[in-house]
Amino acid sequence: MNNKNIQNIISNNKLGTIKDIELFDSSQNRVYKVTTYKGIFVIKEFSKDAIGNYYYLRKRKEQIRISNLLNKKGIFTVVPISFNKSFFQHLNNHYYLIYNFVEEKPLKKEELTIEHIKKLATIQSRIHKLNIKNTLTCSYKNININLIKQLNIAKKVSNDLYHVLDNNKNVLEEIINNCNNKTKIMKNNLCISHNDYKLLNILWKNNEVKLIDFDAMGLSNPTCSLCESAYTFSKKPKSINFDFYKEYLEAYIKEYGPIKENYLDALYASFNGKLQWLSYMFSKNHLKKNNYIDETISMINELVTYYNNIDKFNEIYLKIINK
């Protein structure tokens, strides 16, 4: 842990004498819980992948600005503390954000109810409906993954990864091709989107919700984001709760109104974000670290599960709009 930097940040901003430092999240950007005699703070340390130059820093600042605007619109978010009119702390080639610790916590999968699902769908639809001037960029990228090359790498680093990739390479090729074809259509209608709308980034206290982690925020197609979120919140470890999926779609459409896109096209295009993350994971697998390998395997399995249920997802949508 980079405790020296954390200690300096707390000291530089006069946040009190440190009692305890705990690293409680290190997926891509490290997140520390720091307890001092003045309070409890959360400090997020950005990796060089996350903020590598001024462009990325400017993008992060825009995400914070919009997060603040969401609060004014009644969509509650957790925003960093500003020191001397600056949110970002720059120290030893790393960037940091400081937050006040909040008591709200994310729900676990097994705690989700129909009422939670409806509320999550309504919040997402309200974000998608907002018309806020912004400089965010389109979240979609053309996906180009050389699966043969990745198979050769996998053979050297992990038998499990090799077998999962080998068994699913044809399906992955279909997913990539369909996604690239349909994404072109979806770029014609874009809105502000959280783009990492999942349980870990949604904090609850009773029935009140606060959103966190806007690092992936960008301009996305609302229907694609809807497709991805409906799946995310209905997915179980080895199955899909189709009742949750239906309730999510119904609640979203009730708040948002009629959907403009062909839903099946949107389902194919909504693989884009997951495929971008898979591409990133592939780029790290040569390091032979178990966490990257395990997450790559998990993402491949998730993509295949999603793909295998596309017709069912579309069928649920058609039944809703044809009532």
pLDDT value of residue 27: 66
Confidence grade of residue 119 (pLDDT, cut at 50, 70, 90): very high
pTM equals: 0.93
Domain containing residue 114: 109-321
CATH number of the domain at 41, please.
Answer: 3.30.200.20
- 34 CB-contact burial (10 Å; exposed 0-12 / middle 13-18 / buried 19+): buried
User: 199 with 106: CB under 8 angstroms?
Assistant: yes
- Same domain as 41, residue 120: no
The answer on pLDDT for 52 being more than 70 is yes
Tell me the helices (H) and strands (E) count for the chain, helix number first.
Answer: 11, 10
Confidence grade of residue 26 (pLDDT, cut at 50, 70, 90): low
pLDDT value of residue 33: 95
Percent of the chain topping pLDDT 70: 99
- Same domain as 269, residue 130: yes
**CA torsion, points 16, 17, 21, 26, in degrees to nearest 10?**
40
Euclidean distance between CA atoms 9 and 68, whole angstroms: 23
Q: Of the candidates 269, 29, 313, 233, which has an alpha carbon nearest to the alpha carbon of residue 138?
A: 269
Classify the phi-psi angles of 16: left when phi > 0, otherwise alpha if psi is within -120 to 50, otherwise beta: left
- The model's pLDDT over 271-287, given as tens digits with 9 standing for 90+, comes to 999 999 999 999 987 77
- The model's pLDDT over 231-240, given as tens digits with 9 standing for 90+, comes to 999 999 889 9
Average pLDDT over residues 62-67: 97
The answer on pLDDT for 1 being more than 60 is no
CATH number of the domain at 129, please.
Answer: 3.90.1200.10
Euclidean distance between CA atoms 105 and 123, whole angstroms: 17
What total number of domains does the chain contain?
2
- Same domain as 299, residue 189: yes
- 37 CB-contact burial (10 Å; exposed 0-12 / middle 13-18 / buried 19+): exposed
- Same domain as 42, residue 21: yes
Name the phi and psi angles at 142, rounded to 5: -70, 130
The answer on pLDDT for 25 being more than 80 is no
Confidence grade of residue 3 (pLDDT, cut at 50, 70, 90): confident
Q: What is the mean pLDDT of the chain?
A: 94
Euclidean distance between CA atoms 219 and 136, whole angstroms: 6
- Same domain as 44, residue 79: yes
User: 180 with 268: CB under 8 angstroms?
Assistant: no
Average pLDDT over residues 168-184: 98
- Same domain as 71, residue 38: yes
pLDDT value of residue 88: 95
